[in-house]
Amino acid sequence: MVRCNCTLGSSSLFKYLTPIISTVFLAMLWIGFKSYTDPIFARNSVATLRSFEVNGDQQWILARGCNRDNTVVLFLHGGPGMPAMFTAHVFQRSLERDFVVAHWDQRGAGKSFDAALDPATMTMTQMLSDAEYVVDQLRGEFGVEKVILVGHSHGTYFGALLAQARPDLFHAYVGLGQIGDPARERAVQNSIIAEYFQDRVETVPEITAANRETLLFQIGGEIASAQSMWPLIRMGVTAPEYSFRDVMNVAKGPQFAQAHLRYDVAGDFASPPLNFDIPVYVAMGDQDAVTPVSLAQEWFDKVEAPQKRFVVFDDAAHFPHVEQPEAFASLLSTVRRELALKSTMPNTEVIPIPRFGRQCQ
């Protein structure tokens, strides 16, 4: 009988496992400590990720574009306390050709989260002051008088207040997942959730504060193509701008804001204002159950503005810009075209294409 000595020696095993262990270790280091933004290889491009002091608090901003002379777009994220910067690498690459796109992690959110932040500073008045400071920074950096203001979810309430108060700073206001009537929001959510489950199960689940978000995900009301938040988690983990610590802080921001944010403005947290001196655009996902389309439409119908437009993206829910990035890019191009705003083609001549970063074409 021929016996085979198939035992792998310790030295051979070590030699076999070393590259695997090293790769895993380096990947973990990269995920844990990365905090950069991919360069853009075009003449006059901008790709910066930096922190700066905003009214006594250290906060972060990301700015990217193929030509720094193009119209600036500022994103106001939702939550409150839920950043959007970590989604930028997924949806905005086509936007960067025609715009300079800026993401700001607000006080107590995302990369700007600080456990030592004084809770007394978490007020809408303070947030509005922070936003004005950030806009002034962008105006100075890019030599512009105005920017396009884009708000998402809670950022639409924040953004509408800001756009109404300071029309001199903005070309237009764009609402994504627009808040319509916060007082009626949960009742409409309940109806949407109940209707979904009535067609599929014998017993409609009880809706509580603890399971509401889970149910909204399950019915495709948060992300149309997913039934959990895993796509958002993947975006955070793979975002070059976010370290592992930043990803962990994503969940802390909404908790901190929920506990401490005070609406020290007229009407408390009521419906957004209705009268604007700048154009108003709203984009909704047809399956949005978080900020229901019906409530957004009712609010929009009452809005008075120099011009306004309401669009609905098919096969999208509460993140229409992330779920349908080309449709969103088309909408912003429409805004730029209707307002005759500047768009300069990127100059990519004589720029070598390395193995990292991106080339504007």
Instruction: Give the pLDDT confidence score for residue 185 in this predicted structure.
Output: 96
Instruction: Give the pLDDT confidence score for residue 358 in this predicted structure.
Output: 62
Please check whether residue 313 lies inside any domain of the structure.
Answer: yes
Give the confidence band of 216 by pLDDT, cuts at 50, 70, 90.
very high
**Is pLDDT at 349 greater than 70 in this prediction?**
no
Instruction: Give the pLDDT confidence score for residue 22 in this predicted structure.
Output: 46
Instruction: Give the pLDDT confidence score for residue 272 in this predicted structure.
Output: 93
Compute the distance between CA of residue 119 and CA of residue 313 in angstroms, rounded to an integer. Answer: 38
Q: Is 229 exposed, middle or buried (0-12, 13-18, 19+ CB in 10 A)?
A: middle
Give the confidence band of 353 by pLDDT, cuts at 50, 70, 90.
very low
Q: Is 240 exposed, middle or buried (0-12, 13-18, 19+ CB in 10 A)?
A: middle
Place of tokens 């938040």: 229
Instruction: Give the pLDDT confidence score for residue 102 in this predicted structure.
Output: 98
Instruction: Give the pLDDT confidence score for residue 30 in this predicted structure.
Output: 43
Please check whether residue 93 lies inside any domain of the structure.
Answer: yes
Amino acid at 138: L
**Is pLDDT at 3 greater than 60 in this prediction?**
no
Cβ count within 10 A of residue 271: 18
**Is pLDDT at 2 greater than 50 in this prediction?**
no
CATH number assigned to the domain comprising residue 271: 3.40.50.1820
Amino acid at 68: R
Amino acid at 187: A
Sign of the Cα torsion 185, 189, 191, 192 reads: positive
Q: What is the DSSP string of 233-246?
A: HHHHHH-TT--HHH
Q: For the residues 275-286, what does the mean pLDDT come to?
A: 98
> Which is higher by pLDDT, 12 or 204?
204
Q: Note the pLDDT tens digit of each residue in 70-98.
A: 999 999 999 999 999 999 999 999 999 99
Instruction: Give the pLDDT confidence score for residue 341 in this predicted structure.
Output: 86
Please check whether residue 325 lies inside any domain of the structure.
Answer: yes
3-state secondary structure of 139: helix
> Which is higher by pLDDT, 44 or 10?
44
Please check whether residue 5 lies inside any domain of the structure.
Answer: no
Query: How far is Cα of residue 132 from the mean position of the Cα atoms in its chain?
Result: 19
Q: For the residues 4-32, what does the mean pLDDT come to?
A: 48
Instruction: Give the pLDDT confidence score for residue 226 in this predicted structure.
Output: 94
Please check whether residue 4 lies inside any domain of the structure.
Answer: no
Q: For the residues 106-122, what does the mean pLDDT come to?
A: 96
Compute the distance between CA of residue 295 and CA of residue 251 in angstroms, rounded to an integer. Answer: 27
Cα Rg, the chain, nearest whole Å: 23
Compute the distance between CA of residue 203 and CA of residue 185 in angstroms, rounded to an integer. Answer: 23
Please check whether residue 108 lies inside any domain of the structure.
Answer: yes
Query: Whole domain around residue 288: which residue ranges?
Result: 32-345
Beta bridge partners of 152: 176
Instruction: Give the pLDDT confidence score for residue 14 in this predicted structure.
Output: 46
Report how many domains make up the chain.
1
Please check whether residue 310 lies inside any domain of the structure.
Answer: yes
Compute the distance between CA of residue 179 and CA of residue 302 in angstroms, rounded to an integer. Answer: 13
**Is pLDDT at 28 greater than 50 in this prediction?**
no
Q: Note the pLDDT tens digit of each residue in 301-322.
A: 999 999 999 999 999 999 999 9
Instruction: Give the pLDDT confidence score for residue 361 in this predicted structure.
Output: 63
Amino acid at 66: C
Cα atoms in the 13 Å half-sphere on the side-chain side of 143: 5
Give the confidence band of 200 by pLDDT, cuts at 50, 70, 90.
confident
Judged by average pLDDT, the poorest of 24-28, 201-205, 259-263, 337-341 is 24-28
Please check whether residue 14 lies inside any domain of the structure.
Answer: no
**Is pLDDT at 37 greater than 60 in this prediction?**
yes
Q: Note the pLDDT tens digit of each residue in 132-141.
A: 999 999 999 9
Query: What rounded mean pLDDT belongs to the chain?
Result: 88
Pair type for strands 71-76 and 147-152: parallel
From residue 17, alpha-carbon distances to 20, 27, 354 in Å are 5, 15, 31
Compute the distance between CA of residue 65 and CA of residue 56 in angstroms, rounded to an integer. Answer: 28
